[in-house]
């Protein structure tokens, strides 16, 4: 009894396993070629387009309004690099089948912590890269094109709108990755889900918010012309889908053999 009392108690940090997975995944993804390719393409397109417009304005006097230009760039991130975002997120869990069980899940970590660590790491990477790109685009438009038509509140709302859509894509990607057995299957399912959802939502009445309509309406939002109620419904809708998919992925992953 005395001997047991004398034993030093090891302090266990319950959040450390989650933080370990989060940090490790963040480092690995940042080092991956697919992420570097995405950043290279996105930043090249952003800076290149900005300089092109700046040159056109300086040399030829052709002025494209900043809201349209920033809207174009943000829309490109969603549509143009959607494949790369899907690949980055859809292999998050099923892509590590070999090491996952042998090195990670057999230790003192729960499936929930592992799933959340992966989800949050991919969200930080995708949203962080998007925010960086949109900051460059907005700052570039402000300083290079001297646009007075760009509204600050509208810009923040536009960034929030695209970020919400990206959050939904990442959540679906990571959740499907937790359920699927291989990365190829995961990517295929995410592709089909996103395009299927987009196709079905195009049949909804015009007053229903959909990602496609929200992206089309971005130039107006950037100018400060927006319906706050409509935008709030869109944000709430995408957050609800993200939450639902995350919970579904987490529950399925907690019941899966690895």
Partner 1 sequence: MAENASDLVVESFKLTKIYQNRQIALNDVTLRLEPGCVLGLLGHNGAGKTTLLRLILGLHRPTAGWVRVFGGIMTPNAAALRSRIGFIPTNPQFPRGMTPITYLDYIARLFGLPADIRKPRLASLIRAVDLLNVSGDIIDGFSNGMTARLAVAASLINEPDLLIWDEPTHGLDPEGRRSMLNLIKTLAREKTLIVSSHNLSDIDEVCNHAAVLSRGHLIYFGSLQDLKGRMRKNMYELDLDADQKAITKAFNVIKSMQEFRTVNLRQRRLEIRLTEEAATAPTLANVMMALTDNKVNLISIRNSGQVTEQAFLDLVEKEESRGFARAYNPEAA
Site for partner 1, rule CB under 8 A: 10-17, 19-21, 24, 28, 31, 96, 98-99, 101-113, 254-258
CB of 257 to partner 1, least distance (A): 4
Residue 158 or 178 having the CB closest to partner 1: 178
Residue 9 or 61 having the CB closest to partner 1: 9
Residue 20 or 142 having the CB closest to partner 1: 20
CB of 8 to partner 1, least distance (A): 10
CB of 96 to partner 1, least distance (A): 8
Residue 17 or 209 having the CB closest to partner 1: 17
Q: What is the 3-state secondary structure (H, E, C) of the chain?
A: CHHHHHCCCCCCCCCHHHHHHHHHHHHHHHHCHHHHHHHHHHHHHHHHHHHHHHHHHHHHCCCCCHHHHHHHHHHHHHHHCHHHHHHHHHCCCHHHHHHHHHHHHCCCCCHHHHHHHHHHHHHHHHHHHHHHHHHHHHHHHHHHCCCCCCCHHHHHHHHHHHHHHHHHHHHHHHHHHHHCCCHHHHHHHHHHHHHHHHHHHCCCCCCCCCHHHHHHCHHHHHHCCCCHHHHHHHHHHHHHHHHHHHHHHHHHHHCCCC
CB of 104 to partner 1, least distance (A): 6
CB of 17 to partner 1, least distance (A): 5
Residue 14 or 229 having the CB closest to partner 1: 14
């Amino acid at each position: 009894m005395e001997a047991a009392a004398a034993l030093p108690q090891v302090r266990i940090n319950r959040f450390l396993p989650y933080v370990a997975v989060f940090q490790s995944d963040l480092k690995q993804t940042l080092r991956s070629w697919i992420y570097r390719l995405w950043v290279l393409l996105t930043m090249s397109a952003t800076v290149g387009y900005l300089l092109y417009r700046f040159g056109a304005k300086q040399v030829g006097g052709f002025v494209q309004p900043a809201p349209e230009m920033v809207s174009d760039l943000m829309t490109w991130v969603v549509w143009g690099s959607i494949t790369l975002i899907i690949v980055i997120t859809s292999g998050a869990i099923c892509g590590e089948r070999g090491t996952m069980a042998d090195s990670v899940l057999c230790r003192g970590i729960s499936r929930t912590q592992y799933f959340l660590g992966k989800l949050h790491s991919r969200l930080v990477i995708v949203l962080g890269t998007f925010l960086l790109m949109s900051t460059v685009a907005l700052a570039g438009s402000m300083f290079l094109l001297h646009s007075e038509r760009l509204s600050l509140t509208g810009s923040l709302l536009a960034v929030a709108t695209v970020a919400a859509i990206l959050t939904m894509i990442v959540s679906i990607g990571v959740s499907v990755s937790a359920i699927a057995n291989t990365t190829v299957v995961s990517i295929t399912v995410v592709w089909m889900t996103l395009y299927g959802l987009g196709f079905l939502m195009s049949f909804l009445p015009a007053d229903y918010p959909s990602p496609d309509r929200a992206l089309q309406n971005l130039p107006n939002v950037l100018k400060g012309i927006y319906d706050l109620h409509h935008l709030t419904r869109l944000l709430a809708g995408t957050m609800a889908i993200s939450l639902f998919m995350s919970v579904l992925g987490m529950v399925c992953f907690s019941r899966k053999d690895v």
